[in-house]
A and B are shown apart, each in its own frame.
Chain A
Amino acid sequence: MPSPDARKDKVLVIDDNAGILFGLKQALTLKGYDVHVSEAFDGVASVAKIAPDLIYLDISLVGQDGREVAQELKGDKRTKRIPIVILTAYPNSDQLAKEAGADDFLPKPFELSQLWAMTAKYVHELRLVSDT
């Protein structure tokens, strides 16, 4: 059970598909992360306000290019240290992630174990583990 004062690691998921957001929220919440989801990128300021420890960012957002979003976040001193993992259903995920200046990529569809391993790779402090 979580201790009330323990600060959970925050993961922000930006994806324009509600299903993906729901799935990731469930999967990561299960591992004890504080998951924030957004269907669009609302600007660096709003991300800075959430101050996540890791961002999952879809490459093709409605009306937005995930690569540009990543570049914007990486170009701002408030958010440049936050690791970004690119989510994409395109076959050349690695190349897209490199172009975006992101830290990593997770091609859709992924295994749950891959998602958890990827998250753990960037957010080490798992203060709340709810493995059953």
Chain B
Amino acid sequence: MKEKGKRAAELAIADIELAFQNQIKERRAAELIIANKELVFQNIEKEKRAAELSIANIELAYQNDEKEKRAEELTVANKELAYQYQVKEKRAAELVIANKELAFQNKEKEKRAAELSIANIELAYQNDEKEKRAAELFIANKELVFQTGEKEKRAAELAVADIEQRRNDSFMSMASHELKTPVTTIKTLVQILQHQYGRSEDSALVEYLYTIGQQIDQLTKLVVDLLDVSKIKAEKFMIEDKTFDFDALARETVKSCQLLSPQHAISIAGNTKAQVRGDRDSISRVFINLITNAIKYSPKADTINIVLSHRKKTLRVGIQDLGIGIAKSDQEKIFERFYQVGNDSGQSFAGLGIGLYITAAIVAQHSGRIWVESTGRRGSIFFFELPIHAVQVKDVYAVS
């Protein structure tokens, strides 16, 4: 029994121990539960915190990014500022220079202002002058307007004159034609009378008939000339286009003129050795007109000199009289139609003033030219030139 009691005592002690231990364990378990709960709570807290940290982390990362970005921006801004600073310094330096320049310019401007002031006075003066000139121009303009009006009036008058001229030409053509009929009749009858009674013993009758005959011849010439003028104006001057020996024509014509005017000695010298192309009769008429004129305007002289000469392409004829001469002012006009030279001695010469007009027209139609040279009262020389068509083979008319 002792062992059992011991044992039981031991068991009891062990039991108590166990119960204690149990209690401890239960307490411990409770504590563990609490601890566990605490741990769970703590765990939840930790997770919560972890989540918060995670967010915070993201936030920080973002903020970091932002900061880096900002830092970069600041770097750029810094550089920009540095650059701007440099620019400003440069600009400041420039401004200093510019300032100096301005100061200089200012001085210049002052100088210029002074000059301008003078120039202004000058301009004011010029302005006055211009106004004066403008006023003058205004007057001149009015004058021009007036003159323009006059010119238009004159042009209109000329147009009317032209129509009148044409009317005149056709009138002359008609008049000449109409005049020819009575002239023909009178001429025929006078010539019959001259034929019948020209050698009558009644000297008075002979003289009457001679004078009537002479006058009727003059009238005939005027009538024919008038028609020629209208022909020239209408450009209907018939020109035969043939080649002829000029020197032969010249001497032939001079010879016949000499027969008609025995009171003047007509000399002819030189030669042209030329063949001329054109109307032989017309050229002969040029000679006759110029010789007749020379005779007519040198009533107190007794010689007419004709000189023929030639150059490579043109021939020239000079017909000289020792008559009254032609004033410088008349020398070009005498070839105009109906132009009559006024004579201060009151001497008058019959004619219509168309002989030289016709002569010049014929020369012009043969591509030649005609002019006169005259010095005062020592007579005149009429020249005309014609183109040479061909040169004569033989010198038929050597100077005799």
Interface residues of A (CB under 8 A from B): 17, 19-20, 22-24, 26-27, 30, 89-92, 108-112, 115, 132
Contacts and interface: CB of A to CB of B under 8 A. Distances in A.
A79 B77 CA distance: 133
Nearest to B189: A23
B184 A108 contact: yes
Contacts of A17: 181, 185
Given A20-B181, A108-B184, A109-B183, A91 B238 contact: yes
B258 interface: no
Given A30-B192, A109-B187, A91 B181 contact: no
Contacts, number: 61
Contacts of A30: 192, 195-196
B184 A20 contact: yes
Interface in B351-398: none
A132 B196 CA distance: 7
Contacts of A22: 185, 189
Interface in B215-255: 220, 223, 227, 231, 236, 238
A92 B192 CA distance: 27
Contact of A26 (B180, B183, B187, B188): B188
Given A91-B227, A109-B223, A24 B192 contact: no
A108 B184 CA distance: 6
Interface in B169-184: 177, 180-184
Interface residues of B, number: 20
B194 to A, nearest CB: 8
18 contacts: A20-B184, A23-B188, A23-B192, A27-B188, A30-B196, A89-B180, A91-B227, A91-B238, A92-B238, A108-B183, A109-B184, A109-B223, A110-B187, A111-B191, A112-B191, A112-B192, A115-B188, A132-B195
A19 B185 CA distance: 6
B235 to A, nearest CB: 13
Nearest to B216: A109
Given A26-B192, A30-B192, 19 more contacts: A19-B182, A23-B189, A23-B192, A24-B188, A26-B188, A30-B196, A89-B184, A90-B177, A108-B184, A109-B180, A109-B220, A110-B184, A110-B187, A112-B187, A112-B188, A112-B191, A115-B188, A132-B195, A132-B196
Interface in B278-313: none
**Interface pairs A-B: 10 shortest CB-CB:** A23-B188, A19-B185, A89-B180, A112-B191, A109-B184, A108-B184, A23-B185, A108-B180, A109-B183, A89-B177
A109 B183 CA distance: 7
B349 to A, nearest CB: 24
Contacts of A109: 180, 183-184, 187, 220, 223
